[in-house]
Amino acid sequence: MKKFMKEFKEFALKGNVMDLAVGVIIGAAFQNIVTALTGDFISPLIAAVTGKTGEDGTVVIGGTFTINGAVFNYGDFISSVVNFLIMAFILFLLIRGINRLMTVGKKKEDGTAATKKCPYCVSVIDIAAKRCPNCTTILDEELQKELNEAAK
């Protein structure tokens, strides 16, 4: 039982799980804002354009229809679709902005390595090095030829 509780604690307190929990809470709060925006601003605009209001003066988007006594309120469905589209668009912009902020200050890699390994001492050295600073091995063939000729 202790091992199970330890595993659960490690799982529940991982960064990804905590980030997900925060995201769900913020998303739920954000959904209320989007629902209010749709219900209080967008729906009245649509009602003003279409001229549809309910018997009690409330805004009606779309309407209802009845089949064999079952009432289908497609207006609520349209309102939910509008809520979803607004929420998805705002989350897209938010994630896009966060991704751009994450790349600020990072150098773009051009795909070429800036370092290499010395074949003799296996230390990491600059790609342009002609001689290893650690073991002093000559790495450039032309430099090696020049030194051999100078020694003769």
Instruction: Give the global pTM.
Output: 0.46
Residue 42 sits in the same domain as residue 15: yes
- Distance, in Å, from the CA atom of 79 to the CA atom of 38, rounded to the nearest integer, reads 7
Residue 85 sits in the same domain as residue 147: no
Taking only the tens of pLDDT, the chain with its 152 residues reads 888 888 887 777 776 777 777 788 888 888 888 888 877 887 777 777 766 665 655 555 666 778 888 877 777 777 778 878 888 888 788 888 888 888 877 766 655 678 888 888 888 888 888 888 888 888 777 777 777 788 77
| CB neighbour list of residue 132: distance below 8 Å, 6 or more residues apart | 118, 120, 121, 123, 125, 139
Domain CATH for 56: 1.10.1200.120
Q: Which domain holds residue 35?
A: 11-103
- Distance, in Å, from the CA atom of 45 to the CA atom of 83, rounded to the nearest integer, reads 15
* Structural domain includes residue 97: yes
- Give the tokens for residue 5: 């509780």
* Structural domain includes residue 2: no
pLDDT at 97: 85
- Distance, in Å, from the CA atom of 12 to the CA atom of 21, rounded to the nearest integer, reads 10
**Tokens 């912009």, residue located:** 93
